[in-house]
A = this chain, B = another copy of it.
């Protein structure tokens, strides 16, 4: 990871479909070495993939909420069953292990309040070993960035 790699990472976060030629120009390289660097970043796992960013509402998911969940049982089995269920639930977009009052924080999307209720009743509340759930709805988005502020300095 040198200065050029950082530029590449930043540029591809801002536009994941940049052509290699445009990217090369942006970072001040000719296409061949540029492509090689991109492939290396991919192989090293620095770049994990590419994705289209979509308008949630336009796709029929106007509702976003965050749930903070505390488990009553922290045995390995309970944790694994919980996390396995999270993994297979498509409406759960993110799930982090947290410090503080809750064990997990989930970001959940839904098509409607009805769909949300179904999800909570049929999936979330049936997760094994839940002690408490605290939910907050997002009713507006101030910012949604996809660009890590990768410093253009320092080797890693």
Q: Which A residues contact B (CB, under 8 angstroms)? A: 1, 9, 12-17, 44-56, 58-61, 64, 66, 83, 86-87, 90-102, 104-105, 109, 111, 134-151, 154, 156
Q: What residues on B are CB-neighbors of A66 within 8 Å?
A: 96, 98, 105
Give complex CA distance A154, B1 in Å. Answer: 46
Contact status of A136 and B93, CB under 8 A, knowing A60-B154, A148-B59 = no
Q: What residues on B are CB-neighbors of A137 within 8 Å?
A: 98-100
With both chains docked as a complex, state the minimum distance between the C-beta of A44 and any C-beta of chain B, in angstroms. Answer: 7
With both chains docked as a complex, state the minimum distance between the C-beta of A20 and any C-beta of chain B, in angstroms. Answer: 11
**Is the Cβ of A97 less than 8 Å from the Cβ of B150?**
no
